[in-house]
Amino acid sequence: MSTKTDVMAIRLIGEEVVRLLSLPEERLDVEAVVGLKLIADLAQWRGKVYGVELPKPSCRSSSARH
């Protein structure tokens, strides 16, 4: 798995965010769901391409520590 590909995915996510934020409000309402789906797919490209699940962020709460 390539770091270069990770960087490309980050750039594509950034481009989509900029595109969405530059839309007029009425177009953003129409395109938000599709844009967010694309961003989510790009963020999970490894799992889709290689069948590898990315590690889930750990959630530590103060009640879990003793």
Domain range summary for the chain, segments of one domain joined by +: 3-55
Residue-level pLDDT, tens digit, the chain, 66 residues: 567 888 888 899 999 999 999 999 999 999 999 999 999 988 888 777 777 665 666 666 555 554
Dihedral angle over CA of 35, 39, 44, 46, nearest 10 = 100
For residue 27, what are the CA distances in angstroms to 12, 41, 43, 64? 20, 21, 23, 44
Rounded to whole angstroms, the Cα distance separating 37 from 20 reads 12
Q: pTM of the entire structure?
A: 0.67
Predicted pLDDT at 59 = 63
Confidence at residue 6, expressed as pLDDT on a 0 to 100 scale: 82
Residue type, 47: G
56 phi, psi to nearest 5 deg: -80, 145
What pLDDT does residue 54 have?
A: 59
